[in-house]
Amino acid sequence: MGTTVLDAPPSMAALFARAALTARGRGGDLPDARLARRGVAVDPAEVAAYARVCRFPLADTLPVTYPHVLTFPLQVALMADRGFPLALPGLVHVRNRIEQLRAIGPGESLDLEVWAERFARHRSGATVDLCASVSAGGAEVWRGRSTYLARGASAPEGAPEADVEVDAADLAPGTITWRVPDDAGRRYATVSGDVNPIHLSGLTAKAFGYKRAIAHGMWVKARALAALTGRLPDAATVDVGFRKPLFLPSTVTLATAPRGSGWDLAVRNVKSGADHLVGVVRPL
């Protein structure tokens, strides 16, 4: 199959509903389909709302994590399709890698493209990578790779081992403390479109086996990077692993340490000391 170009972003609520209705009986290999949008204009009001929720200051460039918000609906459309081998409900985001080749201006016309690759074996099931590319003026400016785990699923015979670990150093205890409120998932869903039920309320999260709602991993990543505003390279790799779920509400700490021209970082639970996120920032 080739690339299907969409005129508008698909409805996230409709996609999650379709994925829930078609979750049973999936299997097979990854489809070779790609989805794209061309000439996407960023809405300044939506960027400002995202920046407020994630604590980025308003600037003349997009937050490094914002292109994920633009490409995520296309990735969900791929996963919600009946031909995708893993059921979207219950997928766990375990790793996210962003490569920003240069800072992106909010007035640039962007081309988006997404696809799935690397169906892999994991000790708890199977993983798949949802990949995204963003271009401006015919040149790639940003790319992302989100690794999702399907617990209890099976990868095809001969599939490689999953690659979910981030090579980050052990850090001293964090000095920045956040109180994450119980509505953090709903607030991020409003600005990102990610209305996965595990993030919205305790009631909907329990339907998928969680004791309480959990924070979006990409919100945790964005909030950590926002704390480093002004100290990040314009061209950088930001690679994080999502460890223990961050249940809402919670209190966490952010630990950071400079590594050359980059950073190592970790978000930890105040009570248990467990890592919710570990990651590295490195210049390209």
In tens digits, the chain (284 residues) has pLDDT values of 689 999 998 988 888 888 888 878 788 889 899 999 999 999 999 999 999 999 999 999 999 999 999 999 999 999 999 889 998 887 889 999 999 999 999 999 999 999 999 999 999 989 999 999 999 999 999 999 999 999 888 888 888 899 888 988 788 888 899 999 999 999 999 999 998 889 999 998 998 888 999 999 999 999 999 999 999 998 999 999 999 999 999 999 999 999 988 999 999 999 999 999 999 999 99
* Look-up of token digits 């490094």: 64
Torsion (CA) 23, 24, 25, 28 in degrees, nearest 10: 30
What pTM, to 2 d.p., does this model score? 0.94
Q: In CATH, which superfamily holds the domain spanning 3-283? A: Hotdog Thioesterase (3.10.129.10)
Q: Is 28 left (phi over 0), alpha (psi -120 to 50) or beta?
A: left
Which pLDDT score, from 0 to 100, does residue 136 have? Answer: 98
Residue-range domain boundaries for the chain: 3-283
- CA 145 from centre of chain: 8
Which pLDDT score, from 0 to 100, does residue 135 have? Answer: 98
